[in-house]
Structure 1
Amino acid sequence: MKYSVIIRHIGLIIAIVGLAMLAPVHISLINREPYVPVWIGIAAATTVLGLVLFLAVRVRETIGYREGFAMVTFAWVAATLFGALPFWMTGAIPGFADAFFESMSGFSTTGASILTDIESLPRSLLFWRSLTHWLGGMGIMVLFVALLSQLGAGGMQVFRAEAPGPITEKIKPRISETAKILWLTYVILTLAETLLLRIAGLDWFDSLTHTFGTMATGGFSTKNLSVGAFQNPAVEWIIIVFMFAAGTNFALYYTAVKKKSLKNFWHNEEFKLYTSITLGAILIIWLILAAEHGFFKAARLASFQVVSIITTTGYATDDYVLWPSMATGVLFLLMFVGGSAGSTGGGMKVSRYLVLLKHSGLQLKKFFHPRAVFSLKVGGKSYPEDIIISIFQFFFFYIFMVITGTVIMTGFGLEIKSAVSAVLATLGNIGPGFGAVGPMENYAFLPDAAKYLLSFFMLVGRLEIFTVLVLLLPSFWRK
């Protein structure tokens, strides 16, 4: 293990987090908050420490698989630790376990919160809270790869360790160019949504913070009642569209612009399945809610909550826990799905379900044609056997962690519905769940040990299990 390589590049991530804190410093100055000295101190100390680590360790060694996994995991933990300092040192969140939970929820784009009165926080902290979403959405390590083109082949190891989905898709031959294109797409969509929300009636602050939560599929809001507080149908429809866009593979946007055609969306099997699941769920819930809420309002409520859950955003416009059982059942099942591979959405990913469905179909064919040789193809490309095996392994570990986590959470006093949804909501980076952790509730009542456990699930879910769990193997650290 090349520890010097890991330390050097984690230092750069810490510096990036420190520089990002300059934005809330500006917000604090504008609003004449008493926290300006605290913000400046934390931002300066974080940036300097990061640069010292980066510049003090000068190495030209390549990044291998082990360094890539270790670097990504420890970089996320470091970003979370330093990201928690503003919450803790301003006194807005007195307990460090709570501050760490909120920071991890932000960077991992989970959206689970321990705050009981969000609107009482100063604007600078609300902005930082949402900014952690935006940084974690496309990935702090993807940004790192985009900034350091000299990483060469090592950049691919880092990219693979963080990128969502079973296969890492390269848009350009050089992985640094791919990272730049992904971030550029992310920024353009962010600007577009911010402008539209402003036109729809939100001020610039709420437009930007809610765009951060939307594009990162995170869900942190500046309001206690989330997006429902605005009572603005136009705002809700804009967020619905951009949540769905954020849950789509970002590579499809680049291909559409390059070829000047949208055909690649309709030819993409994962996008078609993602769209079908979303529309199917909306239709079912729409029909269930129509009798009580009316045709048009039911359509809006169903669309918002379905897209929010399947993309793992976690925004809410209604307390869906109070909906009829069948409607909440559909939402509960969507917690197992997630967005597309290559999107900012969390969860299991639609691409994995697509592979499983196709693999199951091939197994059925083999019953009738036992001597035939079938190849599993998605989008005209064959999936290697090792990728298929890794998908099955992913599902096993995912379900195993849900079961184990649920048992542990019941030990903290949660009833089964709240326990299982708390684990699903954090492991899937969704945020709100059902029962005691529903959309109008929070995680504040949990003991510190439970908060650290759920923070671990957020990290594991964001880095797709293997990147973190492989570090727990003793053989990983041996020469």
Structure 2
Amino acid sequence: MNVKLILKLLGRVELLIAGSMLLPLGVSLLYGESPLPFLTSIAVLLCTCLPLSLMRTGSGFFLRDGFAAVGLIWLLVSVAGALPFYFSGEFSSFTDCLFESASGFTTTGATILADIEACSKGILFWRSLTHWLGGMGVLVLATAIVPSLGIRSHYLTQAESPGPVFSKLVPKQAQTSKILYSIYCVLTLTEVLCLKLAGMPLYDSFIHAFSSAGTGGFSNRNASVGAYGSVAIDLIITVFILLFSLNFAVYFLLLTRKWREALSSDELRFFLLVVTGATILIAIDIAPLYTSIWESLRYSVFQVASIISTTGFATADFVLWPHFSQTILVLLMFCGACAGSTGGGIKCSRVLILLRSIRREIHRVIHPRSVEVVKLDGKVVEEDTLRSISVFVGSYLFIILAATLIISLDDFPFSVSFSSALTCISNVGPGLELVGPTGNFSAFSHLSKIVMSLCMIIGRLEIFPILVLFSRQAWRHT
């Protein structure tokens, strides 16, 4: 493994994170707050990472190097992102700062803050900006704007991009990254404009647009989006978090006028079917709690969109809803958004392929001599892909159970421990009961917070880039 090249890449990415801190630094100055948390953080990163970025390195960069680099970089980016929180003095421990940073960059949206509105404007801006930076991927951003290091950036993006199958939009990965971020920026700015026109203050508009784009869920209000009590704002955010939940390749196909190919996606149809079905079922179930079916539909569609997109915004406390509705939302946490989006979870494409694989096995039992293949978008899914999906889902469930076991040492009810592990690895944000939409994660021990932070990163990178770091074979021939 080319350790020196990985460290040089780490230095470049950390400098990129340091540069992004200039935006919240400007916000702090604009609102008359102390810029020291960001100035100190930038100075620390410059001193530690500038030498790394200037290292002389050898050639040779392969897939295992890409996976190890992505895993290591995301762990250390979370540490770098925690520095402004720590130097602000608004968090009680560095563990809390690390939890908040990991939650931000992985677009989870879980928080340890009990009183969000007591925090400074600059810190809250940085908190939501981490969602935006992590949503599309820090390495996708790096390959778009950082000069080439002479490495195959395809390996980096393959390790960081969500979904069972990775494909480039155009032959060159750097160009693909620029296209993705162009679409990302346009959608983000469009949401900012829509929210401002709907009556949301400009600062709040940027906060919620960053969180929507990254499908993260950090808000600058204690009551999240529900604090505004606006149907227009609810509708705008609902539309945009669903848009950011779709595979960005769909937008590229639409821009290149390949309408039929874009709209005929099996995953897109499955995603819309799940959203529609869950919305209707929950709206009917919670109808007795509200004055009209339209009101129950309003809260149902927002919560469904928020959970399946793994954004985690809230306009209602679904912990108070009937258990049937809560169960549907938990199932949506498992499902997650589309592959190639900024959302988390197992991904709709994997769920759809698993369902079709089950159907194939049932058919084989009935007709042992038949030959049947699993297809997605009219193309045969290779057996290696089917195997990798099975391994991924098995690993996903195993990590949830292992994390639940460790978190249960804090002696909270099983529903709290399990939903905490699930919401962190699925990058959703809120869980059940204590960690519901109106709760937070401050009551957990340092060990549980570290485990949940690791779960967030594992979930965001879809398990294997982190597991590669613990493999002795990956570090041989360094």
* TM-score higher than 0.5: yes
Deviations 1:236-278 (A, max 9, x none): 10000011011100110010111163x3343100000011011
Measured after TM superposition, the shift of residue 369 of structure 1 is 3.4
| Aligned residue in 1 for 2:426 | 428
| Aligned residue in 2 for 1:51 | 50
| Aligned residue in 2 for 1:415 | 413
Q: Distance in 2 between matches of 1:43 and 1:232?
A: 38
Distance 1:37 1:409, change over 3 A: closer
1:303-452 equivalences under 5 Å are 303-452=301-450
| Aligned residue in 2 for 1:272 | 269
Q: Are residues 1:77 and 2:75 paired?
A: yes
| Aligned residue in 1 for 2:279 | 282
Q: For the Cα contact (< 8 Å) 2:37–2:85, is it kept in 1? A: no
Q: Distance in 2 between matches of 1:130 and 1:375?
A: 44
Deviations 1:284-304 (A, max 9, x none): 011122233112211110000
Q: For the Cα contact (< 8 Å) 2:407–2:448, is it kept in 1? A: yes
- Letter of the structure 2 residue corresponding to residue 40 of structure 1: L
| Aligned residue in 2 for 1:174 | 172
Instruction: Name which of structure 1's ranges 362-371 and 327-336 shifts more when overlaid on structure 2.
Output: 362-371
- Letter of the structure 1 residue corresponding to residue 452 of structure 2: L
Measured after TM superposition, the shift of residue 149 of structure 1 is 6.3
Q: Distance in 2 between matches of 1:152 and 1:170?
A: 19
| Aligned residue in 2 for 1:24 | 24
Is there any run of 5+ residues in structure 2 with no aligned partner, and where? none
Q: For the Cα contact (< 8 Å) 1:193–1:238, is it kept in 2? A: yes
Q: Distance in 2 between matches of 1:173 and 1:377?
A: 25
Deviations 1:29-54 (A, max 9, x none): 11111x21332232243245333311
Deviations 1:367-403 (A, max 9, x none): 3432332222211222111111010001111111111
| Aligned residue in 2 for 1:217 | 215
Q: For the Cα contact (< 8 Å) 1:249–1:342, is it kept in 2? A: yes
SS in 1 for 2:430: coil
Q: For the Cα contact (< 8 Å) 1:97–1:452, is it kept in 2? A: yes
Measured after TM superposition, the shift of residue 404 of structure 1 is 1.5
Q: Are residues 1:299 and 2:310 paired?
A: no
SS in 2 for 1:150: coil
Q: After the TM superposition, which segments of 4 or more aligned residues of structure 1 sit over 6 Å from their partners?
A: none
Q: For the Cα contact (< 8 Å) 1:240–1:307, is it kept in 2? A: yes
| Aligned residue in 2 for 1:67 | 65
Distance 1:260 1:477, change over 3 A: closer
Q: For the Cα contact (< 8 Å) 1:156–1:175, is it kept in 2? A: yes
**What RMSD, in angstroms, separates the aligned Cα atoms of the two structures?**
1.4
Measured after TM superposition, the shift of residue 152 of structure 1 is 6.5
Identity of aligned residues (%): 39
Q: Are residues 1:193 and 2:191 paired?
A: yes
Q: Are residues 1:12 and 2:12 paired?
A: yes
Q: For the Cα contact (< 8 Å) 1:106–1:132, is it kept in 2? A: yes
1:85-100 equivalences under 5 Å are 85-100=83-98
Measured after TM superposition, the shift of residue 58 of structure 1 is 2.5
| TM-score for both structures, normalised by structure 2 | 0.97
- Letter of the structure 1 residue corresponding to residue 277 of structure 2: G
1:147-186 equivalences under 5 Å are 147-148=145-146, 150=148, 154-186=152-184
| Aligned residue in 1 for 2:2 | 2
Q: Distance in 1 between matches of 2:331 and 2:460?
A: 19
Distance 1:148 1:437, change over 3 A: same
Distance 1:356 1:260, change over 3 A: closer
Q: Distance in 1 between matches of 2:390 and 2:258?
A: 37
Measured after TM superposition, the shift of residue 345 of structure 1 is 0.4
Measured after TM superposition, the shift of residue 330 of structure 1 is 1.1
| Aligned residue in 2 for 1:37 | 36
- Letter of the structure 1 residue corresponding to residue 50 of structure 2: L
Q: For the Cα contact (< 8 Å) 1:15–1:49, is it kept in 2? A: no
Q: Distance in 2 between matches of 1:258 and 1:63?
A: 33
1:251-270 equivalences under 5 Å are 251-259=249-257, 261=259, 263-270=260-267
- Letter of the structure 2 residue corresponding to residue 6 of structure 1: I
Q: Distance in 2 between matches of 1:320 and 1:129?
A: 24
SS in 1 for 2:346: coil
Measured after TM superposition, the shift of residue 183 of structure 1 is 1.0
Q: Distance in 2 between matches of 1:367 and 1:96?
A: 55
Q: Distance in 2 between matches of 1:54 and 1:443?
A: 36
SS in 1 for 2:76: helix
Deviations 1:186-223 (A, max 9, x none): 11100110100000001111001100111101000000
Q: For the Cα contact (< 8 Å) 1:149–1:176, is it kept in 2? A: no
Q: Distance in 2 between matches of 1:151 and 1:282?
A: 47
Instruction: Name which of structure 1's ranges 43-52 and 387-396 shifts more when overlaid on structure 2.
Output: 43-52
- Letter of the structure 2 residue corresponding to residue 52 of structure 1: P
Q: For the Cα contact (< 8 Å) 1:314–1:430, is it kept in 2? A: yes
| Aligned residue in 2 for 1:122 | 120
Q: For the Cα contact (< 8 Å) 1:88–1:95, is it kept in 2? A: yes
Q: Distance in 2 between matches of 1:343 and 1:436?
A: 29
Q: For the Cα contact (< 8 Å) 2:109–2:311, is it kept in 1? A: yes
Q: For the Cα contact (< 8 Å) 1:15–1:48, is it kept in 2? A: no
Q: Distance in 1 between matches of 2:28 and 2:307?
A: 33
- Letter of the structure 2 residue corresponding to residue 42 of structure 1: S
Q: Distance in 2 between matches of 1:166 and 1:145?
A: 21
Instruction: Name which of structure 1's ranges 293-302 and 414-423 shifts more when overlaid on structure 2.
Output: 293-302
Instruction: Name which of structure 1's ranges 275-284 and 399-408 shifts more when overlaid on structure 2.
Output: 399-408
Instruction: Name which of structure 1's ranges 332-341 and 41-50 shifts more when overlaid on structure 2.
Output: 41-50
Measured after TM superposition, the shift of residue 169 of structure 1 is 2.0
- Letter of the structure 2 residue corresponding to residue 45 of structure 1: V
Q: Distance in 2 between matches of 1:121 and 1:31?
A: 13
Is there any run of 5+ residues in structure 1 with no aligned partner, and where? none
Q: Distance in 2 between matches of 1:153 and 1:357?
A: 38
Measured after TM superposition, the shift of residue 151 of structure 1 is 5.3
| TM-score for both structures, normalised by structure 1 | 0.97
